[in-house]
Amino acid sequence: MEKDLDKIANYEKAIKKKYGEEAIQNPAKFWDEDKEKEYLEQLKHLSNKQKHSEETSRMVEVEGFLVNKKLLNREARINCPVCNKRFKTLRDDIYNNKYESCEKCYIQYIEGREDRWLKGWRPDNVTSNT
């Protein structure tokens, strides 16, 4: 038993030497009611954030595919920012979420050149052909 206590004391000395005096202190020494209240508020905020994340990340089956529910939010953007055509399909919503374009613009301008697109390249003077 005494050898174990000596080992512990040696470990504490080594930790104190490497990381400082605070590293070997009991954490409860620095805890008070204000910190407890702040911690509980942070915990409540985190819990609410997790609940919101779970609600928005639910999967929904659409046309035989599982799609994240938040991808189906059509109110966020109605028209393609590239060709200014109205989004019509679920795929338009999916491409809009990742590339900010409709499916047709993805095929024409982005497919095979995703890195360039994500770095900010956009086509000049796109005309919307129906």
The domains of the chain are located at 41-70, 73-130
Tell me the pLDDT band of 104, cut-offs 50, 70 and 90.
very high
pLDDT at position 14 over 50: yes
How confident is the model over 85-108, as a mean pLDDT? Answer: 86
At 78 the pLDDT is 75
pLDDT one-digit tens code per residue, 44-88 = 999 998 887 777 667 777 777 777 766 665 555 578 888 888 888
- Strands (DSSP E) along the chain, which ranges? 59-62, 65-68
pLDDT at position 114 over 80: yes
pTM attached to this predicted model: 0.40
